[in-house]
Amino acid sequence: MHEYSIVASLIDRVQQEATAYEGARVHRLYVKIGELAGVEIDLLKTAFDTFRERTICDEAELTINTVAPIWACPSCERSVERGSILRCDSCGRPAKMTQGDEIILERIEMEAPDV
């Protein structure tokens, strides 16, 4: 399942970050997901709950922030309304999505033991 591979790579990233801090405990992950990223948020949460066991994210919570899609003209940078024809109304070029399809690990909340 798509969501499982996303979770796997998120946890990989966290693992990499956390290796710098011996014995670090991860409390929370903040993930930004575009509404058009093709991710089922509920499935992602389920995948995370299943997958985190016996990883560094064992006790971590997952916070997901969704991002509404925005389109803009690639040449004159005018924004193009959602729902309308996705084409710039001043120069006629097809609009490009500037946000709304991302999957980003924004922040990791963790606690490192005192050195």
* Footprint on this chain of Zn ion (rule: CB under 5 A): 73, 76, 88, 90-91
Distance from C-alpha of 93 to C-alpha of 31, rounded to nearest angstrom? 32
Closest approach of Zn ion to the CB of residue 67, in Å: 23
Closest approach of Zn ion to the CB of residue 72, in Å: 8
What DSSP character marks residue 101? S
- Cα radius of gyration rounded to whole Å, the chain: 18
Nearer to Zn ion, 35 or 69 (CB): 69
Cβ-count burial 23-39 (b if 16+ within 10 Å, e if not)? ebbbeebebbbbeebeb
Nearer to Zn ion, 88 or 110 (CB): 88
Closest approach of Zn ion to the CB of residue 68, in Å: 21
Nearer to Zn ion, 83 or 92 (CB): 92
Closest approach of Zn ion to the CB of residue 89, in Å: 8
Nearer to Zn ion, 28 or 78 (CB): 78
Strand 96-99 and strand 70-72: pairing? antiparallel
